[in-house]
Copies of this chain bind each other. A is one copy, B any other.
């Protein structure tokens, strides 16, 4: 369904590294004419393969302590309530600036990626904002001490 040839992939890889490369620079590196590179990029954008261009923020603005928080809620008698309650928690967490990402997991659980300046503040946040939520069955905190792959994902997620 998604047809990409070597040139498309090469262009995407270069833009992923540095989206500010000029068409002429890309053309030179790949030994292709500028007009071709321009045409390909235009198509990649139109096809939605390039979704958007963005910046990654540097260390200075990234939280130093991050953790995944797995939240499982108590299963009520009425299942419809569970759905609404989980959605409510997710929306509530999403608003907070130190909640970098929120994802639904199973029927009765969700995960949040949280960040703070340091460990103490992070734990304080988890204790005072998450653990206090009513009718939780389980809260599992998975600290992330070192990012090996996807190392700058925090710089991508953090807001200013």
The interface of chain A, by Cβ under 8 A from chain B, is: 1-2, 4, 8-9, 12-13, 15-20, 47-61, 68, 70, 90-91, 93-94, 99-106, 109, 111, 113, 142-150, 152-153, 155-157, 159-160
Question: From A9, which residue of chain B is reached at the shortest CB distance?
Answer: B160
Find chain B residues with CB under 8 A from A159 CB.
Answer: 13, 16
A18 engages B104 (CB within 8 Å): no
Assembly CA distance A90 to B51 (angstroms): 29
Question: From A95, which residue of chain B is reached at the shortest CB distance?
Answer: B149
Residue in A18, A55, A90, A153 with the greatest tally of chain B CB atoms within 10 Å: A55
B54 engages A144 (CB within 8 Å): no
A contact face: mostly helix, strand, loop, or mixed: mixed
Q: A57-B50, A58-B48, A148-B102 are in contact. Are A19 and B16 (CB under 8 A)?
A: no
Specify how many copies of this chain sit in the oligomer: 2
Question: From A150, which residue of chain B is reached at the shortest CB distance?
Answer: B101
Question: From A109, which residue of chain B is reached at the shortest CB distance?
Answer: B142
Q: Which of B19, B111, B150 contacts A53 (CB 8 A)?
A: B19
The 5 closest A-B pairs by CB, nearest first: A101-B150, A51-B58, A19-B53, A48-B58, A104-B146
B153 engages A53 (CB within 8 Å): no
Residue in A57, A103, A105, A157 with the greatest tally of chain B CB atoms within 10 Å: A103
Contact sample, A vs B, 20 pairs, CB 8 Å cutoff: A2-B60, A9-B160, A13-B159, A16-B55, A18-B52, A48-B59, A48-B60, A50-B57, A50-B58, A51-B55, A52-B152, A53-B55, A68-B68, A103-B145, A103-B148, A105-B144, A106-B145, A111-B144, A113-B150, A153-B157
